[in-house]
Amino acid sequence: MVSPATPAPAAIWRNQRFRLVLYQAAALLLVIAIGAYLVSNTLANLEERSIRTGFGFLSREAGFRIGESVIPYDASSSYGRAYVVGILNTLRVSILGIVLATLIGVLVGMARLSRNWLVVRLASLYVEMVRNVPLLLQLFFWYTMITGLLPSVRQAVQLLPGVYLSKSGLMFPAPVPHPGHPYMAAAFVIGCGLAWGYRGWARRRQEATGQVPKLLLPSLGLIFGPPLLVWLASGAPTALDVPAFTRFTFRGGNSITPEFLSLLAGLVLYTAAFIAENVRGGIQAVPRGQNEAAAALGLRRGTALRLVVLPQALRIVIPPTTNQYLNLAKNSSLAVAIGYPDLVAVTNTSLNQNGQAIECIAIMMGVYLTISLSISVVMNVYDRYVALVER
């Protein structure tokens, strides 16, 4: 046998691997070149028109007020702090919105599968109506309802002693700040940790002995007991800052503004309709056999739903629901239309005062990107946590 001649090594540009790398490198270079051109040209144009650039403005005095803030802020604070106020306002409405939308969404989703004719129709009506009307219109609707129907602040309705409802929002008493409060908050966190630990212990005990320890009451005790003890130890301060009417509006206490309330209502009801559909789809996607098997084991309908159906449905529900959470966070930017001072509102104002549109928009984009990616990461981690563990 004649051994086959070893083929001459192919030229390097005929190597598939080499060519793939080459193409990708070329594409990358092109992108970088375009990016560099855009940046340098923008800077040159801004320079030529003597438009100020850079992020130096963040440390300068903002000079404008913001309607509501969770941290101390006034007109002499910096632009940077104004941005933080805006970001916190966005996060406040987003996080609360996600929690409430999830609760309502799950309830409505299950209601659509109920055996009660009326409940099914009502849930369907809600979903179809809310899902098919643009969110901005719904926000205007809620805002007009609240500011149009409620009495003016001088004729505010007293709901409870010290609690007033009017066009200016819901005013309610707040505890007068006391040195014991931070410790109460710490005790609350510790209590939550204890309750979590107790839950783990209860599960292990159930697995080991078959006995089911009581869960609800001891958990509540563990969560609220420590702060209560700290409260008693710090002398049981009961002083309340009750809102009192001054010449124009209420002073003191705490308040929820109609802007926040309308935005929250709009976002929650809109997003909940989509989540409800995700939940319904997820539950219906669990094979019927699972339900029948649960029934055959003698589980009641509720227990079967909780222990057999929902855990499996969850895996189907989570990815599309993550999308809805992202939508809710981004839709919160519509706040600007009804006067809620979210990140977009603050950006708009500062953009106008200092004229640095590119920097301001870049900050806003960066913040929304960060919020969205954070939601994605958290939801992906949770998704992995509830994923089917193959044994």
Is 259 near another protein (CB under 8 A)?
A: yes
Please, what is the minimum distance in Å from the beta carbon of residue 299 to another protein?
47
Nearer to another protein, 56 or 319 (CB): 56
Q: What secondary structure does DSSP assign to 322-366, as a single string?
A: HHHHHHHHHHGGGGGGGT---HHHHHHHHHHHH--HHHHHHHHHH
Nearer to another protein, 82 or 187 (CB): 82
Which is it for the CA torsion 127, 129, 135, 141, positive or negative?
negative
Nearer to another protein, 174 or 190 (CB): 174
Nearer to another protein, 3 or 132 (CB): 132
| Residues 343 to 372 in contact with another protein, rule: CB under 8 A | 344-345, 348-349, 351-355, 357-358, 361
> What residues have CB less than 8 Å from 304, skipping those under 6 apart?
291, 294, 295
Nearer to another protein, 107 or 337 (CB): 337
Q: Which of 3, 6, 50, 209 binds another protein (CB under 8 A)?
A: 50
Nearer to another protein, 52 or 121 (CB): 52
Residues comprising the chain, all counted: 391
Of 20-28, 88-96, 217-225, 244-252, the segment contacting another protein by CB under 8 A is 244-252
> What residues have CB less than 8 Å from 260, skipping those under 6 apart?
68, 93, 169, 340
Sheet architecture: strand order including 169-172: 157-160, 163-166, 169-172, 254-256
Is 261 near another protein (CB under 8 A)?
A: no
Q: Which of 14, 17, 49, 391 binds another protein (CB under 8 A)?
A: 49
The two tokens of residue 52 are: 């100020």
Q: Could you tell me which residues are beta bridge partners of residue 172?
A: 254
Spatial distance between the Cα atoms of 44 and 127, rounded to a whole number of angstroms: 52
| Residues 314 to 343 in contact with another protein, rule: CB under 8 A | 333-334, 336-339, 341
The two tokens of residue 306 are: 């909780």
Is 246 near another protein (CB under 8 A)?
A: yes
Tell how strand 240-241 and strand 163-166 pair up.
Answer: unpaired
Nearer to another protein, 85 or 309 (CB): 85
Nearer to another protein, 77 or 278 (CB): 77
Pattern 82-121, binding to another protein, x per CB under 8 A? ----------------------------------------
Is 64 near another protein (CB under 8 A)?
A: yes
What is the Cα 358 distance to its own chain's centre?
27
> What residues have CB less than 8 Å from 137, skipping those under 6 apart?
none
Helix (H, G, I), strand (E, B) or coil at 163: strand
Spatial distance between the Cα atoms of 48 and 100, rounded to a whole number of angstroms: 50
Is 266 near another protein (CB under 8 A)?
A: no
Residues that bind another protein (CB under 8 A): 38, 41-42, 45-46, 48-52, 63-67, 75-76, 134, 136, 144, 147-148, 152-153, 167-168, 246-249, 251, 257-259, 333-334, 336-339, 341, 344-345, 348-349, 351-355, 357-358, 361
